[in-house]
Amino acid sequence: MENQSAYNMGLAGKTALVTGGTKGIGQAIADQLAQAGATVIVTARNPPGDTNPTHHFIAADLARAGQAAELVREIHDTVGQVDILINNAGGITSPGGGFSALTDTDWENELQLNLMAAIRLDRELLPGMLDRKSGVIIHISTSSGKQPLWDVNMAYATAKAALNCYSKALSNEVSGKGVRVLAVSPGAVKTLAVEQLVQSFAATAGISIEAASEGLMNKMGGIPIGRPADPEEIAAFVHFIVSPAASYLTGSNYFVDGGGLSGV
């Protein structure tokens, strides 16, 4: 078979940075990339309670201007270049309830964490990738970026929709220069953050956890496969698209949502 290396999913000799890499999807991605042979750096605001001892942890709050540059300086001083960047840090920080429940501060916080954090880190790491004519940048988004829930995640979904647009624009700019840029939009995933979202929705609506969970799934259009994803399933897909096996993939936003309507 010609070009055997094109089907290689190994990452030996590569260094990956995973933001928000101490729990949930980020931790699963970090573990998966380490298993594939990559040197993995994880960053989050707080040190992990428990994490893979092979990961290098560096504390950073990427929602704050200036933290991205400090993080990258420390990485360059201690580890060296970054070949794979997983912009996973994000989450819902604002209340539900629709437009009237959201203040300017709520909107600003969502944009800083879910959009600007990735933009700032890309800005710091892209020059080196372009110089080497090699690199992969992944933006972890959400299916809500296409199918928002007005009473649950309006500001968050809006910020992620902007991230999707930015990701495509950045890909158009740099893909011809050796750097691949892609977005991944999970649907419902079995993480602590999703459990907390369900609890918050239940409390706001005055309903049971079971009813809240069913209601959220219905709002998302249902899950044809019949269950939320495990974080490891999202991580397996991310491993594939950052590997040499996916060398022709760039510019796309992949919906990993069990066949949900958001991917139509």
Catalytic site positions: 156
* Residue 256 CB contacts under 8 Å (≥ 6 apart), including other chains: 184, 185, 186, 187, 229, 233, 234, 237
Residue among 256, 249, 242 at smallest CA distance from 36: 242
Name the H helices within the chain. Answer: 24-35, 67-78, 104-111, 117-132, 154-174, 192-205, 209-219, 231-242
19 touches 88 (CB < 8 A): yes
What is the spatial distance between Cα 26 and Cα 91, in angstroms, rounded to a whole number?
Answer: 12
Residue among 154, 85, 91 at smallest CA distance from 119: 85
Place of tokens 């995973």: 18
Taking residue 150's Cβ as centre, other Cβ atoms within 10 Å add up to 12
DSSP-derived 3-state class of residue 221: coil
What is the spatial distance between Cα 149 and Cα 217, in angstroms, rounded to a whole number?
Answer: 11
Taking residue 118's Cβ as centre, other Cβ atoms within 10 Å add up to 28
Write the secondary structure of 233-256 as one string of H (helix), E (strand) and C (coil).
HHHHHHHHHHCHHHCCCCCCEEEE
Written as one letter, the residue type at 17 is: L
